[in-house]
């Protein structure tokens, strides 16, 4: 634990606080070797396109009053896709980080994912029990979708950070190799 604290509190040459890399070298190897990384990479864009289609149907109903059944069905499909990606994501997190949820590298993304799941599940409950109908149900869908967009943004930013970490590591390795060759005669 002390190592994690010292890594996150240390400063680099520019005086900026260094952050813990998203993956340790061992986690990166596990991430790159597991089939679940491919599954997540496949399901994420599929879920996004389902979301876009469903959003269209929800908005169409809200603006025209037509297509409630289609909008409801689309939200159910989106929610089932969300459940699938959450389950496979938990498996991926277990393989890579050794725990199903709340690994330090993805802690806040997982916390917010719980809100996304809660709102999507509330939609299913409200629809099947008819606690909400029509416009109110579509507003709940929009609330669930708003949290989904925020959560997707969190993951996109995290993936960008991982890519930047990897690029920095490659630059460090290349610089160290160049420095190692500087004193060697040609």
pLDDT for the residue 118: 97
CA 60/CA 98 separation, integer angstroms: 43
How far apart CA 151 and CA 140 sit, in angstroms, is 17
pTM: 0.76
Percentage with pLDDT > 90 across the chain: 59
Q: What is the mean pLDDT of residues 51-61?
A: 98
Say if residues 110 and 102 touch (Cβ distance below 8 Å): yes
Query: Considering only CA atoms, which of 161, 111, 36 is closest in space to residue 101?
Result: 111
Domain boundaries, the chain: 24-152
> What's the pLDDT tens digit per position in 21-54?
778 889 889 999 999 989 999 999 999 999 999 9
């Amino acid at each position: 634990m002390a190592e994690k604290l010292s890594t996150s509190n240390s400063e680099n040459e520019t005086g900026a606080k260094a952050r813990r890399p998203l993956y340790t070298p061992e986690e990166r190897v596990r991430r790159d070797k597991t089939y679940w990384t491919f599954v997540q990479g496949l399901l994420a864009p599929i879920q996004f396109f389902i979301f876009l289609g469903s959003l269209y149907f929800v908005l169409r109903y809200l603006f025209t009053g037509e297509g409630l059944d289609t909008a409801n069905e689309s939200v159910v499909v989106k929610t089932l896709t969300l459940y699938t990606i959450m389950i496979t994501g938990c498996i991926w997190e277990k393989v890579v980080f050794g725990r199903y949820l709340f690994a330090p590298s993805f802690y806040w993304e997982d916390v917010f994912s719980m809100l996304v799941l809660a709102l999507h599940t509330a939609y299913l409950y409200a629809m099947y029990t008819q606690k909400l109908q029509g416009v109110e149900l579509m507003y709940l869908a929009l609330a669930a979708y708003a949290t989904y967009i925020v959560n997707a943004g969190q993951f996109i930013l995290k993936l960008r950070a991982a890519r930047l970490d990897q690029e920095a590591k490659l630059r460090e390795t290349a610089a160290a190799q160049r420095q190692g060759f500087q004193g060697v005669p040609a």
